[in-house]
Amino acid sequence: MWEKIKDFASTFFVTGDPLIYGADVAIVLTTFAIIFVLTYYKKWGWLWREWLTTVDHKKIGIMYLIASLLMLFRGGVDALLMRLQLALPEMHFLHSEHYNAIFTTHGTIMILFMAMPMMFALFNIVVPLQIGARDVAYPFLNALSFWLFFFGALLFNISFVIGGSPDSGWLAYPPLSELSHSPGVGQNFYIWGIQISGIGSLATGINFLVTILKMRAPGMKLMDMPMFTWSVLATCILIIFAFPILTVTLGLLFVDRFFGGHFFTMDGGGNPMMYVNLIWMWGHPEVYIVILPAFGIFSEIVSTFSRKKIFGYKSMVFAMMIISVLAFFTWVHHFFTMGAGADVNAFFAVTTMAIAIPTGVKVFNWLFTMFRGRIQLKQPMLWTLAFIPCFAVGGATGVMLAVAPADYQYHNSYFLIAHFHQVLIGGVVFGYLAGIYYWWPKMFGFKLDERLGKWGFWLWNIGFYVCFMPQYALGFMGMTRRVYTYGWDLGWAPLNFTSTVGAFLMGAGFVFQIWQIAYSIKHGERDRTGDPWNGRTLEWSIPSPAPHYNFAVIPQVKGPDAWWEMKKEMQQDGTKKKPVQLKPIHMPKNSGIPFIMSVFWFIAGFGFTFSWVWMAVFGLIGVGICLLARSFQYDTDYYIPVKEIERTEKALGRAV
Amino acid sequence: MEHAASHHKHHHDDHHDQESLKTLGFWIFLVTDCILFGTLFATYVVLRTNTAGGPVGKEIFDVAGFVAETFILLTSSFTSGLAVLAMHKGKIKELITWLIVTALLGLAFIGLEINEFYHMVMEGATISTSAFLSAFFTLVGTHGLHVSFGLIWMIAIMIQLGRHGINPVTSRKVYNICLYWHFLDVVWIFLFTVVYLMGVM
């Protein structure tokens, strides 16, 4: 019996690596600490009522934000471990299998469990406030999306202490990811972690599309919408068309591994190249899914901190719409070397270069917005200014990669690594960080400290160039991606060492940002006006943080930059806002079902991962029962009485 | 909830908006489901000739069986339409009767499909025989799972109709399940053409 348990434990838990044992101890201690704190301060009920069951988009946004920062930390540690291993030739810091697992989890976590939730955080916090709505179209579904993401991410992350991490690259190309080459459970964690959170992402896409189309304040036409809302609309369309492909692709890989199918195997007529096509049909739109909202954020910030309306509003909208269509016609550029033929490669080379045109239009529009504006160099604006040159260089190297014949040289080299990190860090990460600094007062009611923020900003920026510029050169020198070590004779040592220094500078930047948050909670400048940046859009017309129901009275919109126009009107009239008749506000009730259903999804995913069919079936039945329970629920909403609204508004310093 | 009562009319309007919002969302969900099936069809078309020495479509497809499945499913789509018509006339009994007929036809369809799969597996044509059969079972099976899911959902709605009668919430639900049902019918027509007819040609 004892022997059996020991046997099971030695395969169930990841063993034999001091780094992992350290992580085990840290996880157990943190878990106990959390349980202790919650119990000691009697916070379990509070946690359940205020957070786990909430359907409030603002709270869901904050939970997304916290989760994404944790994932940024995890993915960042992965990156630093890789850079340590590569700092010098013939290092013995990580062995090859461990290195494989780390570059896999780094990529998957950064895209799917860091960038996506950080994006959804901003969707949730900003969009309903920008369009003058009291919540999203489907608040219950919104909560479900978050918890599916959360438990999907959890399932993926526990793989490094239980069962073993996936190690066949962030997109898990077969046949490497097939049972024949990856017999362990790591790949199953990959499939189910992404599958579960992917359902949530798809639901969010539907949710925000309907929210933007149907829940705008009266008078706000599509062409009056703030630019960030437009970018979310474009992103939602991409999500709706791209994510089902991911669901199917991972589903087919699962059929291969679980039922012995032959979709992508080397025998039985399978075709691994089919997988590569399918995964990039999702994967390429996916990079536009994460970059478009960043474009939206920059548009808001440039306009606010230049005291001008955005230059070329219509061309901005058209550019985003064109990008969202073209995004579906470029996927083959990820594998020009597969041998699809000159005509196919030529088509995809041209579409790829074409997508640089609308992107260029946007860059010029941002520059022209700043031209003769009264620019204020606040933190959000700093990140925006850093983004423009960084993204321009990243875009230019992208066009170099798009030249199909030349790509045979660059393919899978460090040149490619440098390129996509430049657009993803310089574009997506800088964009989301800018957005977080910009909307932070709206989320929490205080600004983040400028001095510490500047330290973080410069460390990130200098670190970025020190880390990735050498990698372009390393690519030309012949260094390919995913090598875990290299020889002294190759002459790659100095550039690799420089690159590692840069990575640690970025890590230091992140530490400064966490310090900045901790410092600002106590000392940050409080925002009592609700409009700390002299903003232009509706989210700045209400107190910070926004009350539960957002708008006591739904605003009437007359054109773009609605709040800016209202402020001008109020100045001209010389009067305060006229008193208005309050009405009871219709709100959705909290629900525990999204959380419980996601727990059952987690159980099902865990069961499938270990091929424990009983557990998987139990989980799926639980999911079904939750769905039925929700279907039979009719009492799902309530009204906030006028008195309570009056009380809340007065407490927030608003005369009603 | 006394406030809810005093604003009953208001409440009613809010509900109407919400129900139409949910139907719009359901249409968009169907778009995503369309792409899901589109991807499966594309995979099937790419892999359909990769039989790896296993049986080809002609050898395993039973013409009488899939024609029967087709007629049953098409009829059920028609009866679900009759259910919605009955709902618009406010006739609850007729509505539930037509839903029961639809569900029974759906059940018959699933029964035939399970029988078809069972015979194939008995003849040694399984999901792990060849890429063609993996694609076949996955594509047709995904459609079958959709129909089965729809059946459970339809039964749940019938119970709710019995409890609450026809109101904005239940009629939205009936409308959406019937949309879903018609959608599965359309998918089946493509399955019938691309998989079965082209398979036995």
Please name the residue ranges forming H helices in A445-492: 450-476
Q: Do B39 and A245 touch (CB under 8 A)?
A: yes
pLDDT at A280 over 50: yes
* Strands in A555-623 per DSSP E: 585-588
- Summarised one tens digit per residue, pLDDT across range A588-609 is 999 999 999 999 999 999 999 9
Is the pLDDT assigned to residue A254 strictly greater than 80? Answer: yes
List of chain A residues whose C-beta atoms are within 8 Å of the C-beta of residue B14: 586, 637
Average pLDDT over residues A351-368: 95
Inform me whether the C-beta atom of residue B100 falls under 8 Å from chain A C-beta atoms: no
Q: What does pLDDT average to over chain B?
A: 91
**In angstroms, what is the C-alpha Rg of chain A?**
25
Measured in whole angstroms, how far is the alpha carbon of residue A139 from the centre of its chain?
Answer: 20
Is A633 in the B-facing interface, judged by CB distances under 8 Å?
Answer: no
B14-19 contacts, C-beta under 8 A, 24 or more apart:
B14/A586, B14/A637, B15/B168, B15/B169, B16/B168, B19/B168, B19/B169, B19/B171, B19/B172
Reading phi first (left if > 0) and then psi (alpha if -120 to 50, else beta), residue A320 is in: alpha
* Residues A55/A588, Cβ–Cβ less than 8 Å: yes
Q: What is the pLDDT of residue B6?
A: 41
Q: Of the candidates A207, A245, A262, which has its C-beta nearest B128's C-beta?
A: A262
pLDDT at B1 over 80: no
User: Which parts of A327-445 fold into alpha helices (H)?
Assistant: 342-354, 356-370, 379-402, 404-410, 414-423, 430-444
Residue of chain B whose alpha carbon sits nearest to that of A265: B131
Distance from CA of A253 to the nearest CA of B (A): 11
Q: Does B162 lie at the interface with A, CB-CB under 8 angstroms? A: no
Q: Which residue, among B122, B135, B130, has the nearest Cα to B45 in the 3D structure?
A: B135
Residues near A239 by Cβ (< 8 Å), separated by ≥ 6? Answer: A201, A202, A204, A205, A289
> Any idea which of A9-18, A97-106, A423-432 has the lowest mean pLDDT?
A9-18
Cα distance from B57 to chain A (closest Cα, Å)? 15
> Would you state the pLDDT for residue B5?
41
| B21–A contact, CB cutoff 8 A | yes
Q: Rounded CA gap, B146 and B140, in Å?
A: 10
Q: Which residues of B111-150 are buried (b: 16+ CB within 10 A; e: fewer)?
A: ebbeebbeebeeeebbbbbbbbbbbbbbbbebbbebbbeb
| B155 vs A: CB within 8 A | no
Q: What superfamily does domain A58-580 belong to in CATH?
A: Cytochrome c oxidase-like, subunit I domain (1.20.210.10)
- The residue type of B195 is V
Which tokens go with A181? Answer: 């080459």
Closest residue, chain B, to A640 (C-alpha) = B3
> How far apart are the CA of B164 and the nearest CA of chain A, in angstroms?
10
Per-residue pLDDT tens for A179-234?
999 999 999 999 999 999 999 999 999 999 999 999 999 999 999 999 999 999 99
| H or E element at residue A25 | helix A18-40
The total number of residues shown for chain B amounts to 201
The domains of chain B, with CATH numbers, are 28-47+60-200 (1.20.120.80)
What integer is the mean pLDDT of A399-406? 94
Residue B7 has pLDDT above 60, yes or no: no
> Number of Cβ pairs closer than 8 Å across A and B?
127
pLDDT: which is higher, B17 or B194: B194
Q: In this complex, which of B7, B21, B156 lies closest to A137 when CB atoms are compared?
A: B21
Rounded to whole angstroms, the Cα distance separating A167 from A197 reads 20
Q: What is the dihedral of CA B1, B2, B6, B7, to 10 degrees?
A: -20
Query: What residues of A are in contact with residue B145 (Cβ under 8 Å)?
Result: none
pLDDT mean over A26-34: 88
CB contact, 8 Å: A145 with chain B?
no
User: Residue A585: beta bridge partners?
Assistant: A640
CB-CB under 8 Å, A584 with B1: no
- Interchain contact, A262 vs B131, CB within 8 Å: yes
State whether residue B3 sits within 8 Å of chain A by CB.
yes
Query: Does residue A4 register a pLDDT over 90?
Result: no
The confidence band for A574, taking pLDDT boundaries of 50, 70 and 90, is low
Q: Quick one: tokens of A19?
A: 């780094």
Q: Which residue of B has its CA nearest to A254?
A: B138
Q: How many CB atoms lie within 10 A of CB A488?
A: 10
Closest CA to A108 of A197, A40, A1, A24: A197
- Angle between helices A139-157 and A57-86 in degrees, nearest 10: 20
- Are A244 and B169 an interchain contact pair (Cβ–Cβ within 8 Å)? no
Beta bridge partners, A637, equal A588
Show the CA angle centred on residue B127, arms to residues B124 and B132, nearest 5°.
100
Which among B52, B138, B160 is the nearest to A632, CB-wise? B160
Query: What confidence score (pLDDT) does residue A23 get?
Result: 82
Rounded CA separation A218/A208 (Å): 18
Determine contact: A356 vs chain B, CB below 8 A: no
Whether A3 has a pLDDT exceeding 90, the answer reads no
Please indicate whether, in this complex, the C-beta atoms of A262 and B134 are within 8 angstroms of each other.
yes
Which of B11, B43, B169 is opposite residue A634, by nearest beta carbon?
B169
Give A219-230 pLDDT, tens digit per residue.
Answer: 999 999 999 999
A270: closest chain B residue by CA: B131
Q: Residue A563's CB: how many other CB atoms inside 10 A? A: 22
Is the confidence at residue B148, as pLDDT, over 80? Answer: yes
A332 CB contacts (<8 Å, ≥6 apart)?
A277, A280, A338, A340, A344, A345, A347, A348
| B14/chain A closest Cα distance in angstroms | 8
Asked if A261 contacts B128 with a C-beta cutoff of 8 angstroms, the reply is: yes
Q: With 90 as the cut, is the pLDDT of residue A573 above it?
A: no
B127 vs A259, A269, A641: nearest CB: A259
Contact A220, A557 (CB under 8 A): yes
Q: Is B35 on the interface with A (CB under 8 A)?
A: yes
Q: How many helices (H) and strands (E) does chain A have?
A: 23, 2
Cα A70 to Cα A514: distance, rounded to the nearest angstrom: 11
Q: Which amino acid is at A495?
A: L
Q: What is the pLDDT of residue B11?
A: 52
pLDDT level of residue B3 (50, 70, 90 thresholds) = very low
Candidate from B43, B157, B164 with C-beta closest to A263: B43
Q: List, for residues B11-65, the tens digit of each pLDDT value.
A: 555 556 788 899 999 999 999 999 999 999 999 999 999 999 999 999 999 999 9
Top residue of A586, A626, A636 to mutate, by most chain B CBs within 10 Å, is A586
Neighbours of B172 (CB within 10 A): 19
In this prediction, residue A656 carries a pLDDT of 61
DSSP structure string for A210-224 = HHHHH-PPTT--GGG
Whether the predicted pLDDT of A356 surpasses 50: yes
The CA distances from residue A450 to A376, A396, A522, A523, A529, in Å, are: 13, 32, 14, 11, 19
Measured between CA atoms, how close is A254 to chain B, in angstroms?
Answer: 11
B156 contact residues in A (CB cutoff 8 A): 628, 631-632
- Contact criterion met (CB < 8 Å) for B10 and A240: no
Is residue B31 less than 8 Å (CB to CB) from chain A? yes
Best to test chain A binding among B10, B11, B27, B28 (most A CBs inside 10 Å): B28
Tens-digit pLDDT profile for residues B78-105: 999 999 999 999 999 999 999 999 999 9
B29, B128, B169: residue with CB nearest A261 = B128
**CB nearest to A206's CB, from B1, B25, B157:** B25
Q: Which residues of B touch A256 (CB under 8 A)?
A: 134
pLDDT bracket for residue A576 (50, 70, 90): low
Q: Which chain A residues contact residue B44 at CB under 8 A?
A: none
Q: Which own/partner pairs from A47-50 qualify as long-range (CB within 8 Å, at least 24 positions apart)?
A: A48/A592, A49/A590
Beta bridge partners of A413: A480
Does the distance separating the beta carbons of A263 and B39 come in below 8 Å?
A: no
**The pLDDT value given to residue A255:** 97
Backbone angles phi, psi at A234, to 5 degrees: -60, -40
Q: From CA A257, how far away is CA A250, in angstroms rounded?
A: 10
Q: Which positions in chain B touch A252 (Cβ < 8 Å)?
A: 43, 138
* Annotated domain spans of chain A: 1-42, 58-580
Interface probe with B: pick from A204, A206, A216, A583, most Cβ of B within 10 Å: A206
Phi-psi group of A412: left, alpha or beta (phi > 0 → left; psi -120 to 50 → alpha; rest → beta): left
Q: Is B5 on the interface with A (CB under 8 A)?
A: no
Q: Considering only the beta carbons, identify the residue of B10, B29, B127 that sits closest to A260.
A: B127
Residues of chain A in contact with residue B153, where contact means CB-CB under 8 angstroms, are 631
Cross-chain Cβ contact A261/B32 below 8 Å: no
Report how far residue B62's alpha carbon sits from residue B118's, in angstroms, rounded to the nearest whole number: 12
- Taking the CA of residue B127 and the nearest CA in chain A, the distance in Å comes to 6
Query: Is the CB of B46 inside 8 Å of chain A's CB atoms?
Result: yes
Cβ <8 Å between A248 and B40:
yes
Does the distance separating the beta carbons of B4 and A638 come in below 8 Å?
yes
In one-letter notation, the amino acid at residue A508 is: A
Considering only CB atoms, A245 lies closest to which of B14, B35, B51, namely B35
Model confidence band, residue A652 (pLDDT cutoffs 50, 70, 90)? confident
